[in-house]
A and B are shown apart, each in its own frame.
Chain A
Amino acid sequence: MPAPATAIQFEDALLVEQCQRGDMSAFGQLVAKYQDKVFNTCWRISGNRDDAGDLTQDVFCKALEAIGTFRRKSGFYTWVFRIAVNLAISQRRRAGRTVNLTGEEDNAKPFDQQAAGLKRRVEQDDARDPAEEIQDREIRALVARALEEIEDEYRTVVVLRDIEGFDYGEIADILEVPSGTVKSRLHRGRMALRERLGSVLEASGRNT
Chain B
Amino acid sequence: MTGHSCEQFEEHLSAYLDEELEENVAAKVTEHLQKCPRCRATLGDLQRVVSLVGRLPRGKAAPELSELVIARLERQQLYGGAGEVPKVSATPPGVLRFGRLIASAAVVLLTVLAAYLTIDLTHQARQPDLRVADAEKATEPTRAMHTNRDSAGPTTTAARPEAIAMAPRMMGKDTATHALAPGESMRFAKKATPPEDRPTTAAAPSSQEAEPRVAKPGAPVPASQPSSPPPALALALANAAGETKKARMDVGRAVTEPPAKAAPAKGAPAFEPSPQPANDTSSGRPEDSGHRATKAGTSTRPLAERLVGSMTVDELEQHPADAEPVQLVVTAEDAADQENVARQLRSFFARNAIVDARSLGTRAPVDTASNFYLAQTPSARPASEERFLFRGTPTQVSSLLDELSQSAPRNSQVVLMTPTLQAEGWERANIAAQMLREGQPRKAKFSGGSDRVGIAKGGALPGRERVESAQRQAAPAQQVVPDPATRSRWLNEPLGRQQVASASPMTEQAASPPVADRAAPGPPATLTEGPVLEVSRPAPGQARVAQETEPTERDGRASTIRQARSDEGQIRGGFGGGVSPDQRPARQAIQAGSATPGDLAERQIAAAPQSQTVSSQPQTRVVPGPARAVSSRLQERDLGRALSAARASKDQDTCVTVVITVQTPPKANGESPAGPQP
Complex: how many Å from CA A97 to CA B84?
42
Contact mask B323-351 → A, CB, 8 Å, 1/0?
00000000000000000000000000000
Q: B61 — which chain A residues lie within 8 A by C-beta?
A: 35-36, 38-39, 53, 56
Contact B240 A86 (CB under 8 A): no
Contact mask A169-186 → B, CB, 8 Å, 1/0?
000000010000001101
In whole Å, how far is A187's beta carbon from the nearest beta carbon of chain B? 4
Contacts A20-B85, A25-B236, A27-B236; A104 near B94 (Cβ below 8 A):
no
Contact A105 B214 (CB under 8 A): no
Complex: how many Å from CA A204 to CA B48?
8
| Contact among B18, B65, B205, B232 for A35, CB-based, below 8 A | B65
Contact mask A145-168 → B, CB, 8 Å, 1/0?
001000000000010011100011
Contact A61 B73 (CB under 8 A): yes
Q: B616 — which chain A residues lie within 8 A by C-beta?
A: none
Looking across the interface, which residue of chain A has its beta carbon closest to that of B215? A86
> Does A4 count as interface, using CB distance less than 8 angstroms?
no
Contacts A31-B240, A39-B61, A51-B300; A22 near B212 (Cβ below 8 A):
no
Contact A201 B45 (CB under 8 A): yes
Contact mask A73-94 → B, CB, 8 Å, 1/0?
1100001001111111110011
Complex: how many Å from CA A86 to CA B87?
22
Most buried by B among A86, A94, A184: A86
> Does B177 count as interface, using CB distance less than 8 angstroms?
no
Contacts A43-B59, A187-B15; A108 near B66 (Cβ below 8 A):
no
| Contact among A26, A105, A158 for B57, CB-based, below 8 A | A105
> Does B89 count as interface, using CB distance less than 8 angstroms?
yes
Give how many A residues have a beta carbon under 8 Å from the other chain's beta carbons. Answer: 86
In whole Å, how far is A137's beta carbon from the nearest beta carbon of chain B? 9
Looking across the interface, which residue of chain A has its beta carbon closest to that of B100? A94
Contact B241 A24 (CB under 8 A): no
Contact B94 A161 (CB under 8 A): no
Contact B66 A28 (CB under 8 A): yes
> Does A71 count as interface, using CB distance less than 8 angstroms?
yes
Looking across the interface, which residue of chain B has its beta carbon closest to that of A71? B209
Q: A40 — which chain B residues lie within 8 A by C-beta?
A: 58-59
Stretch at the interface among B29-37, B178-186, B291-299, B574-582: B291-299
The interface residues of chain B, by DSSP majority, are classed as loop
| Contact among B20, B68, B236 for A24, CB-based, below 8 A | B236
Contact mask A52-66 → B, CB, 8 Å, 1/0?
111011101111111
Contact B236 A28 (CB under 8 A): yes
Q: B72 — which chain A residues lie within 8 A by C-beta?
A: 57, 61
> Does B444 count as interface, using CB distance less than 8 angstroms?
no
Contact B212 A53 (CB under 8 A): no
Q: A184 — which chain B residues lie within 8 A by C-beta?
A: 11
In whole Å, how far is A26's beta carbon from the nearest beta carbon of chain B? 7
Contact mask B189-211 → A, CB, 8 Å, 1/0?
00000000011011111111111
Contact B212 A63 (CB under 8 A): yes
Contact mask B44-67 → A, CB, 8 Å, 1/0?
111011101111111111100110
Contact A83 B76 (CB under 8 A): no
Most buried by A among B46, B69, B218: B69
Contact B59 A139 (CB under 8 A): no
| Contact among B55, B198, B207, B237 for A176, CB-based, below 8 A | B207
Shortest Cβ-Cβ A-B pairs, 5 listed: A86-B203, A28-B240, A22-B83, A69-B210, A66-B212
**Sampled A-B contacts (7; CB under 8 Å):** A24-B237, A39-B61, A44-B56, A50-B299, A65-B89, A83-B212, A86-B205
Besides the known contacts A28-B240, A62-B213, A176-B206, 4 further A-B residue pairs in the complex with CB atoms under 8 A apart: A28-B237, A64-B86, A82-B206, A144-B56
